[in-house]
Amino acid sequence: MIKLFLLFFIILSLRTENSNEAAQLSGMAQSFGYLLPAFGPILFGFLHDATNSWKVPLQALIGITVLLFIFGLGASRNRYVGSSLKVVR
């Protein structure tokens, strides 16, 4: 898990042209990145209680993982954030 956390910061720095943009992007991403997972345990508990099974929460986790993979493919493109014309070489 620590390696994924480090990969997140590497991708942020590779997709910006200067340190100011990297700081702005990092602040925005971390705000949402810590806020959304805070609801994960509550949601999983609710799904477990509602279905009386771990099947639905685990299926939700698999679905979230697929979405993260798709978004990761977009984040790994050779482009700078905020620039549709500049290609990273």
The 10s digit of each residue's pLDDT in 10-69 is 877 888 888 888 888 888 888 877 877 888 899 999 999 999 999 999 999 899 889 888
For the chain, what is the domain count?
1
In-domain check, residue 21: yes
Q: How much is the pTM?
A: 0.66
In-domain check, residue 33: yes
In-domain check, residue 85: no
- Cα 81 from Cα 27, distance rounded (Å): 14
In-domain check, residue 46: yes
pLDDT at 5 over 80: no
In-domain check, residue 62: yes
- Cα 21 from Cα 12, distance rounded (Å): 9
In-domain check, residue 87: no
Containing domain of residue 56, as a range? Answer: 2-75
In-domain check, residue 39: yes
**Residue 83: which pLDDT band, with cuts at 50, 70 and 90?**
low
Higher pLDDT, 83 or 19: 19
With contact defined as beta carbons under 8 Å apart, do 73 and 60 qualify? no
- Cα 55 from Cα 47, distance rounded (Å): 9
- Cα 81 from Cα 50, distance rounded (Å): 41
In-domain check, residue 15: yes
